[in-house]
Amino acid sequence: MGIIAWIIFGAIAGWVASKITGRDDQMGCLTNIIVGVIGAFIGGAIVGLLTGGFDIGFNLTSFVVAVVGAIILLALVNLVFGRK
């Protein structure tokens, strides 16, 4: 995927994860992008460890993995910094 696709993919995944975790009112567009992209890496790493490999692409499976990774990231942030 190109960099623009990663940014769009990350923004949508980060936004969905922030809605699920209830942190949407505290996050802006740039934060959603960062959380989504890092979440995609976290989710991909976890799935890769569990299955022995993961096909990276712009599809529904990758989106779900990115959202789950972003939720894990936001949960860790909540544990470390707490909710405000």
Task: State pLDDT tens for residues 53-76.
Answer: 766 677 888 889 999 999 999 999
Task: State pLDDT tens for residues 22-37.
Answer: 877 777 888 888 999 8
Residue 78 has pLDDT above 90, yes or no: no
User: How many domains, the chain?
Assistant: 1
Distances 1 to 4, 5, 6, 13, 16 between C-alpha atoms, Å:
8, 6, 7, 15, 20
Q: What is the pLDDT of residue 1?
A: 57
Which pTM value belongs to this model? 0.84
Cα separation, 7 vs 61, whole angstroms: 17
Cα separation, 33 vs 54, whole angstroms: 22
Three-class SS state of 59 = coil
* Domain around 24: 3-81
